[in-house]
Amino acid sequence: MTFHYDNPYASTRHPVFARNLVAASHPLAAQAGLRMLQEGGNAADAAVAAAAAMTICEPVSNGLGSDAFCILWDGKQLHGLNAAGRAPAKWSVDYFQKKYGDADAPPKRGIDSVTVPGAVAAWVQLNKRFGRLPLADVLAPAIDIAERGYLVPVVVGRKWAAAVPELQSQPGFGDIFMPRGRAPQVGELFQFPAAAQALKRIAASRGVAFYGGEIAHAIERFAAAQGGVIEASDFERYQPEWVETISMSYRGYQLHEIGPSTQGIAALMALGMLDHFDLRALGVGSVSSKHVQIEAMKLAFADVYRHVAEPSSMGVDATQMLDESYLKSRARLIRMNKAQDFGPGLQQGGGTIYLTAADENGMMVSFIQSNYQGFGSGCVEPEFGISLQNRGHGFSLQESSPNVVAPGKRPFHTIIPAFLTRDGQPVMSFGVMGAHMQPQGHVQALVRMLDQDLNPQAACDAPRWRVNPDGTLNVEASANPAVVQELKDRGHRIEALADSYQDFGAGQFIWRLGDPKVEGYVGASDARRDGLVAGF
The catalytic position among 352, 356, 414, 421 is 352
Stated length of the chain: 536
Beta bridge mates, 422: 425
342 Rama class: left (phi>0) / alpha (psi -120 to 50) / beta: beta
CA distance 409 to 490: 42
75 phi-psi bin (left φ>0, alpha ψ -120 to 50, beta other):
left
Distance of CA 501 to CAs 61, 174, 458, 498, Å? Answer: 11, 24, 17, 9
Q: Helix, strand, coil shares of the chain as percentages rounded to 5?
A: 40, 20, 40
First-residue to last-residue Cα distance in the chain: 23
Residue environment code for 198-218, b if the CB has 16+ CB neighbours within 10 A, otherwise e: bbbbbbebbbbbbbbbbbbeb
Active site residue 352: yes
Query: How many angstroms separate the CA atoms of 148 and 274, rounded?
Result: 49
CA–CA dist 229, 90 (Å, integer): 6
CA angle, 315 as apex, 414 and 351 as ends, to 5°?
5
Q: What positions carry a catalytic annotation?
A: 352
